[in-house]
Amino acid sequence: MRRKLAAGNWKMHGSVSALAELTTLAAQIDPQGCETVICPPATLLFHACQLVTSTDIAIGAQCCHPQPHGPFTGDVSARMIAETGASYVIAGHSERRDRYAETDAEVQAQIRAAWRENLTAILCVGESGEDRQAGITLDTIATQLAGSLPDGANGENVVIAYEPIWAIGTGDVPTLAQIGEVHDFIRAQLVRRFGDTQGKTIRLLYGGSVKPSNAADIFTAENVDGALVGGASLQAADFLPIIQALNDA
């Protein structure tokens, strides 16, 4: 059984005072339900980890540098993230791939760095609107998986989030058939590469304009084990209905 996962990516939003939302969230989530992870900005990681101690919320970072230390101004290593008490880190988000030109090889190096520090990586893959229109969505996903996901992946050290780039923050959501097609394809790729047992332990999340109003429908798609949520994860009042929909799926 793959435990369902609701992950919130706060991106460059939030403040120390905004962390009160975690307290509200922790008080209302079902400890027997899905796993809940919040990924705030790096400046809030330590505060967030301290706040959720003894709760059912895990904390993750939004990216990491592949090296443990060095002359990398402005970067944060996986070792530094682990020292805050965080247990997850996002790798390969489309905004990082696009705006910072992160390659598949660099994303893979980040995941390896996360593993060295016993962090679970949330690997993001997804096609652009142009890829979708050209009919090469699955080719794009296959290339990203092959280049970004290291050997040795399993259900304990990695989660994969399918985020169609054209749906992130736009309000546009793929059809259930489109979501199902990609998630089924990813599952088949994982089984082919890692074997039936390991390939079926890795959780697959959907991300891209997930909201309380559409979450329940999205979670009916086969091989959708949860969601990576952006804006709707910033406030407990918006994120809780998504978590509940996942628990009910």
- Point out the catalytic residue in the list 21, 106, 163, 183: 163
What pLDDT was estimated at residue 211?
94
pLDDT at residue 145 in the model: 98
Say how far apart CA 187 and CA 100 lie, in whole Å. 28
Residues 201-221 have a mean pLDDT of: 95
d(Cα 178, Cα 69) in Å, to the nearest integer?
A: 41
Instruction: Look at residue 108 in the predicted model and tell me its pLDDT.
Output: 98
Q: What are the extents of the domains in the chain? A: 5-12+34-232+239-248
Q: Can you give the pLDDT at residue 172? A: 82
Q: What is the SS3 assignment for 166? A: helix
* 163 included as an active-site residue: yes
Averaged pLDDT for residues 167-193: 93
CA distance 220 to 230: 20
116, 141, 119, 114: which is closest to 128 by C-alpha? 141
**From 93, 102, 106, 183, the catalytic residue:** 93
| pLDDT tens per residue, range 52-100 | 999 999 999 999 999 999 999 999 999 999 999 999 999 999 999 999 9
- Rounded mean pLDDT of 198-219? 96
Query: Which CATH number, 3.30.465.10, 3.40.50.300, 3.20.20.70, 1.10.630.10, labels domain 5-12+34-232+239-248?
Result: 3.20.20.70
Distances (CA, A) of 230 to 99, 136, 179, 193, 213: 17, 25, 18, 30, 14
Token pair for residue 133?
Answer: 């229109």
Taking the model in full, what pTM does it have? 0.97
Mean pLDDT of the chain, nearest integer: 96
Instruction: For residues 153 and 72, give the distance between their C-alpha atoms in angstroms, rounded to a whole number.
Output: 27
Question: Dihedral of CA 245/242/169/115: which sign?
Answer: negative
* pLDDT value for 57: 98
93 an active-site residue?
A: yes
- Average pLDDT rounded to a whole number, residues 184-194: 98
**Contact call for residues 222 and 248 (beta carbons, < 8 A):** no
Per-residue confidence (pLDDT) for residue 1, from 0 to 100: 82
**Torsions phi, psi for 131 (to 5 deg):** -60, -45
Quick check: 169 pLDDT over 90? Answer: no
Return the exposure string of 109-122: e unless at least 16 CB atoms fall within 10 Å of the residue's CB, then b.
bbbbbbbebebbbb
Section 109-126 average pLDDT:
98
* CA-based nearest residue to 187, from 174, 171, 170, 206: 206
Arithmetic mean of pLDDT, 115-133: 97
Instruction: Convert the pLDDT of each residue in 135-149 to its tens digit.
Output: 999 999 999 999 999
pLDDT at 173: 82
Q: What percent of the chain has pLDDT over 70?
A: 100
C-alpha 141/C-alpha 80 separation (Å) is 30
Residue 28 has pLDDT above 90, yes or no: yes
Q: What is the pLDDT of residue 233?
A: 97
